[in-house]
Amino acid sequence: MRAGYFLTDHFLLQSDTAIRLYNGYAKGLPIIDYHSHLPPDVVASDTAFRNLTHIWLAGDHYKWRALRALGVSERYITGDAPDEEKFYKWAEAVPYTVRNPLYHWTHMELRDPFGITELLGPDNAPRVFERATGMLQLPEFRPRGLLRHFGVEMVGTTDDPADSLEHHAAIAVSGFETRILPSFRPDRAFQLNGGTAYRSYIERLQASSGTAIVDIDTLLDALWNRLYYFHRHGCRIADHGLDHLPLARQLPLPLETVFKQVLQGDDRNAAEYEETFTYAVLSELCKLYHDKNWVQQFHLGALRNTNSRQLRTLGADTGFDSIGDLPQAGSMQRFFNTLEDENRLAKTIIYNLNPADNAVFASMTGNFQAEGIRGKIQFGSGWWFLDQLDGMTNQLNTLSNIGLISCFVGMLTDSRSFLSYSRHEYFRRLLCNLFAEDINRGVLPRDEQWIGKIIQDICYHNAKSFFA
């Protein structure tokens, strides 16, 4: 057992076996970041970040929640405080984040790419801010330079069907070697109970698709139009953020009637019919994903926008979400089984946010595998609240026990930050240490060459094959 290696080359690698596996097989592999929230316009413009706060704190819900837990004024989180002062508040908070993954990520991201190895705190905050901000003005620290530095081969962004994809098109013809590909995220099309915001979205979808949306069939026509448009721009992945996979219910009114009511401004039945409406639209889209040989992803289990007062004040997606405890198995089985009955179930990744459901998700993948496709249905990596050491370890162990970890497509950032690629290093170190522990306990043979191949597959090759 090794100790005292915090953030050295041996970080998280607790034996000589783990060190050999990481350095010999995982370290330095290219990254396929098949689900992220990186903004494509920033990659297209390749404009320098104005300072460390701009690249590091803006939009980072993890850091925002930690600052709120310490009682920091919202002015220094999402408010109008100067960037430098916001960074100082974060630096004051960092020593208090011990045992939270933020403590690891913060120092890993300072070390790589900035080469800053000292622990961040209030005393050195001005020096760290000045040094990193200065480096961010160099060409190699612009968005494209950072993607090159981290060895990112492909990024899958998250894009609404109504998006123009103009920035993806500009990147594609620019000669940039990292592929920045769109992912189709149609969540807003399902939000029947969204009131005025939903009707505004339908107008936007009409404009982008050139389709007058007057009923469910024309809504599907508009989405199909955009799906083909995305396909022409290199998209091969669809993504969905749902609390659970939807079920269709028998209801008094025809679904078509309620959709037309909503289009005309009448929302009285929208809440009751939203899940059935989501099922009707999503299930048709999933058939097209299969036909186009796309991968469909389902991020399930989040309880979103829990704080009504803060939702009114700050808006959605500002760090007031949590883990939900919704039932998942029944609706998931029925949704997938309906598609499987028509032989139109696409390659699928299901992500679980409630660790109590890990075994449910892992066991469900085994029900719908297919001949000739390695790991067609995947239990995705620990995400959001679970992309930390315990969460990732539990996901890997559950997958190993119930499925085949050798088929796993590995880690993703799910992040808006160009510095989050340290999370791939975090995952790879944990993975190598996990296999090394089994070797050292005699649970696996000391065949480091074979185990190393499995590790390389999980870190890179499986994803490259799965996403074609």
β-strand pairing of 322-323 with 302-303: antiparallel
SS3 347: strand
Work out the angle at residue 449's Cα, subtended by the Cα atoms of residues 444 and 451, and round it to the nearest 5 degrees.
Answer: 40
Q: What is the mean pLDDT of residues 19-25?
A: 98
Give 192's pLDDT tier (boundaries 50, 70, 90). very high
Residue type, 59: G
CA distance 229 to 164: 9
Give 186's pLDDT tier (boundaries 50, 70, 90). very high
pLDDT at 142: 98
Distances from the Cα of 138 to the Cα of 46, 47, 135, 325, angstroms: 12, 11, 6, 46
CA distance 183 to 166: 14
Q: Work out the number of other CB atoms within 10 angstroms of the CB of residue 433.
A: 21
CA distance 439 to 454: 14
Contact between residue 444 and residue 169 where contact means Cβ atoms under 8 Å apart: no
Q: Which two tokens stand for residue 435?
A: 């296999």
CA distance 129 to 133: 6
Residue 3 above 50 pLDDT? no
Contacts of residue 11, defined as CB under 8 A and 6 or more positions apart, other chains included, come to 5, 429
361 φ/ψ angles, rounded to the nearest 5 degrees: -65, -45
Residue 4 above 80 pLDDT? no
pLDDT at 7: 87
SS3 215: coil
Q: What is the mean pLDDT of residues 155-164?
A: 98
Contact between residue 14 and residue 20 where contact means Cβ atoms under 8 Å apart: no
Q: Which two tokens stand for residue 256?
A: 């078509």
**pLDDT tens for each residue of 384-423:** 999 999 999 999 999 999 999 999 999 999 999 999 999 9
Alpha helices by DSSP H, listed for 403-461, are: 422-440, 448-456
pLDDT at 102: 97
The alpha carbon torsion through 56, 60, 63, 65 (nearest 10 deg) reads 160
Q: Which two tokens stand for residue 325?
A: 């405890």
Distances from the Cα of 433 to the Cα of 17, 183, 204, 387, 395, angstroms: 8, 32, 49, 16, 15
**pLDDT tens for each residue of 361-379:** 999 999 999 999 999 999 9
CA distance 186 to 227: 10
Residue 5 above 90 pLDDT? no
Read off the DSSP letter of residue 372. T
* Complete DSSP assignment for 74-119: GGGTTSSS-HHHHHHHHHHHGGGGTTSHHHHHHHHHHHTTT---SP
Residue type, 138: L
Domains and CATH numbers, the chain: 16-47+141-466 (3.20.20.140), 48-140 (1.10.2020.10)
Beta bridge partners of 300: 242, 352
Alpha helices by DSSP H, listed for 237-295, are: 255-263, 270-291
**pLDDT tens for each residue of 327-361:** 999 999 999 999 999 999 999 999 999 999 999 99
Residue 1 above 70 pLDDT? no
Contact between residue 176 and residue 144 where contact means Cβ atoms under 8 Å apart: yes
* Helix, strand counts (H, E) of the chain: 20, 9
Q: What is the mean pLDDT of residues 221-226?
A: 98
Distances from the Cα of 149 to the Cα of 56, 113, 152, angstroms: 17, 8, 8
**pLDDT tens for each residue of 202-217:** 999 999 999 999 999 9
Burial of 450 (0-12, 13-18, 19+ CB in 10 A): exposed
**pLDDT tens for each residue of 111-154:** 999 999 999 999 999 999 999 999 999 999 999 999 999 999 99
CA distance 76 to 125: 15
Q: Work out the number of other CB atoms within 10 angstroms of the CB of residue 88.
A: 18
pLDDT at 59: 87
Mean pLDDT, the chain, integer: 96
Contact between residue 24 and residue 459 where contact means Cβ atoms under 8 Å apart: no
CA distance 194 to 185: 17
**pLDDT tens for each residue of 233-272:** 999 999 999 999 999 999 999 999 999 999 999 999 999 9
Beta bridge partners of 373: 370
Q: Which two tokens stand for residue 152?
A: 């990112």
